[in-house]
Structure 1
Amino acid sequence: MNAAIFDSHKYAKRLIDAGVTPQAAGVHAEVLLEVMSQIAGGSMSGERMEARLGTRMDQMAADANARFGAVDARFDKVDAKIDQLASELHAQIADAKADMVRMMVGLSVLQLALISALLLKLTH
């Protein structure tokens, strides 16, 4: 791209005006034109490299998203397991509480029966 803008004849004329021999000025112009062409070709390969890099980055992003998706799925399984265990624990606590209430009611009835029997025995 830069080679199309470069005027090698004008460059050689400026070198000749500065005191460089016409043969040396021509060689300078040719070499500079070659270098600029290589640079332009290199920028094309740079664009290809940039495109490849972009593609690779997109692939890496897709891989990362897939891995994060897998991790999220595992976290969802762990969360479900924790919720299940919490529900089971709440059920066991409720059962233990009901058992304690039944036992306390039973002991209260037994205590009332013993006190009643003792009072009856003392009054007769």
Structure 2
Amino acid sequence: MTMPLKFDTLEYTKRLAEAGIPPDQAEAHARALLAALSESTVAPSELILARSDLIARIEMLRAEMSAKFDELRTEMNAKFDELRAEMNAKLDELRAEMNAKFDGLRAEMNAKLDELRTEMNAKLGELRTEMNAKLAELRTEINARIVEVKAKFTPIYWMLGISFALHAVTIGMLVKVLERLP
């Protein structure tokens, strides 16, 4: 689109003529320069149109990008939600599996503990019976020894008793004899 320029061709031709260029050549130069300037120069109205077009295109691009971002955000949120649900399901599955294994281990440990407790109680019962038998045997042996020792000391007790009695009689007799003495 050509635009009228503020270019005075008549003035330009006069200047060229004053510089020594023939008038027909000066006029041709002026027309050629006017055509070149008109073709290569952009008018302010064209700039306004181009600017408006550029702004409209930028706004369209902005709206398109915003829509694409919203679409991408929605898609990402859906994928995150899907991944979160999948992870939660796997975690729940793992938790259930762990709980089942712990319950199995707990039951196995309780069974082993009960078995050990039963075995220990049986061994303690055997040990208690054995100890009671040994204690009864020891008690019987000690009682037999006590009876035996008492039997050995009985004659000594008698002898001591008789000896004290004889000494008492002897002392009594000595006292009587001493009383008769002048």
TM-score w.r.t. the length of structure 2 is 0.53
**Equivalent residue runs for 1:1-124 within 5 Å:** 3-4=5-6, 6-40=7-41, 43-44=42-43, 47=47, 48-122=49-123, 123=126
Residue by residue over 1:14-63, the C-alpha shift from the partner in whole angstroms, topping out at 9 and shown as x without a partner, is 211222222332343344334434444xx148533454344334323322
Return the structure number with greater relative CO, CA threshold 8 A, min gap 6.
1
Secondary structure in 2 matching 1:20: coil
The alpha carbon displacement at 1:118 in A equals 3.0
Say which is worse superposed, 8-17 or 70-79, in terms of deviation.
Answer: 8-17
Secondary structure in 1 matching 2:5: helix
Contact 1:16 1:22 in 2 (8 A): yes
Cα distance in 2 between the residues matched to 1:120 and 1:39: 113
Cα distance in 2 between the residues matched to 1:36 and 1:109: 103
Give the root-mean-square deviation of aligned CA atoms.
2.8
Letter in 1 for 2:83: I
The alpha carbon displacement at 1:74 in A equals 0.9
Contact 1:2 1:36 in 2 (8 A): no
**How much identity, in percent, do the aligned residues show?**
19
Cα distance in 2 between the residues matched to 1:37 and 1:105: 96
Contact 1:12 1:25 in 2 (8 A): yes
Cα distance in 2 between the residues matched to 1:11 and 1:96: 97
Letter in 2 for 1:61: R
Letter in 2 for 1:90: L
Contact 1:16 1:25 in 2 (8 A): yes
Cα distance in 2 between the residues matched to 1:37 and 1:119: 115
Cα distance in 1 between the residues matched to 2:87 and 2:63: 36
Letter in 2 for 1:102: D
The alpha carbon displacement at 1:120 in A equals 4.6
Letter in 2 for 1:97: M
Secondary structure in 2 matching 1:3: coil
Cα distance in 1 between the residues matched to 2:29 and 2:111: 118
Letter in 1 for 2:95: A
Q: Larger radius of gyration, structure 1 or 2? A: 2
Letter in 2 for 1:52: D
